Amino acid sequence: MSSNFYAAVTVILWGAMPALTKDLLNALPNFETLALSSLFAFLFLLAVNLRGGLKNLSAEKIFTASWLGFLGLFLYSAFFYYGLDRLSSQEACILNYLWPLMIVLFSCQILGEKLTRRKILAVGMSFAGVVLVMFGGIEENFSSEKIFGALSCVIAAACYGLFSVLNKKIRLEQKFAMMIIWATTAICAGFSGYFFESWIMPSVGQFIGLIWLGVMIDAVAYLTWALALEKTSNTARTANLAYLVPILAIFISTLIFGEELSPAVIPALALILGGIFINK
């Protein structure tokens, strides 16, 4: 499979993530949502790995995948969920999508990829599309709570951008690595929830939502994204495709939550697609 195929699967699955997660966070505590969905992601990937046979396991690989999981998915998800709980799904998703820009910047520093004029123009156009959606469609003034939520989403973006580049550089076998990464996330979220939250019993519908979030969005989508980055020779170009996600997420959030659709979506989409084609 090509990197573009894996990236396309990721975009479709991630497009539904903000709306689904926002709906779960409206009823369940943050760390509970993260712990349970991460547990389902781990169990799914464990079944996949057991079917294929767990080979070449070592303490070094487990440790490496664990600290990558703490950085890239526990910290990323914890900060993003905090922001999503305090912002609309549109706002949180848009701010979160600073992470493809972070990938480009980190890949130049860590992977030694050249920051060409075409990459700068492509990233600039796509990021301008995201900014246009944010400031063109969200007129409400930021409260102190929204400021903390926004900062949390930016920190989350930096965590995931750094994780993506380090994961590509270290080159662990991705099905095994993502299994350990989600196990680490589930354990860290479980301990955090024990100390900072009072958990509640999910309803049947919420339980189904947690399974979908864990299996399809966490396990499958994050795995296909890791494979997309692993197989590409141009990390910046592949990362740029992720800018399609906030546009898709905005349409889904509008349908589910009735959030007002920004009039800036269409010109923003033109900028985002233009950036993707320029970077080909």
Cβ–Cβ < 8 Å for 167, 79? no
| pLDDT value of residue 216 | 92
| pLDDT value of residue 35 | 95
Calpha distance 145→161 (Å, rounded): 25
Handedness of CA 23, 27, 32, 36 (dihedral sign): negative
**Largest CA-CA distance found in the chain, in angstroms, rounded:** 54
| pLDDT value of residue 43 | 94
Q: What's at 114, amino acid-wise?
A: K
Write the Ramachandran bin of 162: left for phi over 0, alpha for psi from -120 to 50, otherwise beta. Answer: alpha
Cβ–Cβ < 8 Å for 227, 174? yes
What lies within 8 Å, CB to CB, of 5 at 6+ separation is: none
| pLDDT value of residue 164 | 84
pLDDT of the chain, 280 residues: tens digit per residue: 678 788 888 888 888 888 888 888 888 999 999 999 999 999 999 998 887 666 667 788 888 889 988 988 899 999 998 988 887 777 787 778 778 778 877 888 787 777 778 778 877 887 787 777 666 544 455 567 777 888 888 899 889 889 888 888 887 777 888 889 999 999 999 999 999 888 999 999 999 999 999 999 888 888 888 788 777 777 777 777 777 787 788 777 777 667 676 666 668 767 776 776 676 5
Query: What is the DSSP track for 148-170?
Result: HHHHHHHHHHHHHHHHHHHHHHH
| pLDDT value of residue 245 | 81
What lies within 8 Å, CB to CB, of 237 at 6+ separation is: 119, 122, 276, 279, 280
- Report CA dihedral (92, 164, 102, 215) to the nearest 10 degrees: -10
